[in-house]
Amino acid sequence: MSNADKQYLQIIKDILDHGFYEAENRTGTPTYKLPHKIMQFNLEQEFPILTTKFVAFKTAVKELLWIYKDQSNDVKKLQEQNVHIWDQWVKEDGTIGTAYGWVVNKYDQVNKLIEGLRKDPQGRRHIMSLWQIPHLDGGTLHPCAFMTLWDVTDGRLNCMLVQRSADMPLGCPFNMAQYAVLTHLIAQVTGYKPGLFTHVINNAHIYENQIEGMKLQLTRENEAYEAPKLWINPDIKNFYDFTIEDIKLVDYKHHPSIKMEVAV
């Protein structure tokens, strides 16, 4: 069994067995939730993606590149790549407003991170934050996975993702894979080996209409596969040169997709 399945499914069990029922929230769909759930992966040993259901890896990476490489808020750029995960939050101007990639670009966050990791690897201020208070209300959705903290230890680049809110059935599997990829990409262009990826979730929840899907996924626990390998084009040394073709999974074996509703 992959370590990703093991840690993720334990959180799912905890929520289903001990979660607090939350009748009211922004979406109007009740949830079961637990605070302060944490997963940690050694990226030298394993790439964290679920095998107990299919995770659309390419779609997840396209969104990641849209945010951090393209630094865009233009939903049309995703739609042109057959990615429609932001369609329900698009504004009349075709964007998601002052959120995600817009904020990355506004504060030149990727360039500052890369420069800082190269020049001052033992610095304790290597942070990218999408939670910029003056611009929160200008976006169509406040960022969920909103902050990464970066550390260099023994030649390895470690990343901690802080997520204020996680739709565990649908959003979290994407975020796990995305930010593990981002850690690999930043490590490659800064000359470090990938190290730890730690995923901290403040509010881990399952919507009421997703429970049956999660119960189905749990029946596959004893039939989980080994984790796939991540391949990144070793010739890319500039972060902005990465394309979707430079990032691939090798031997990704998985169970079928599980259809569940997104709470808007």
User: Which tokens belong to 99?
Assistant: 């959120």
Show Cβ contacts of residue 262 under 8 Å, excluding neighbours closer than 6 positions. 88, 167, 170
CA distance 170 to 161: 17
What's the Cα-to-Cα distance from 51 to each of 40, 47, 219, 250, rounded to whole Å? 17, 11, 13, 13
How far is C-alpha 24 from the geometric centre of its chain's CA atoms?
25
Set 83, 144, 157, 204: catalytic member: 144
Q: In the annotation, is 159 catalytic?
A: no
Nearest of 26, 44, 80 to residue 196 by alpha carbon:
44
> How many of the other CB atoms lie within 10 Å of CB of 171?
19
Residues in the chain: 264
Q: Which residues are catalytic?
A: 144
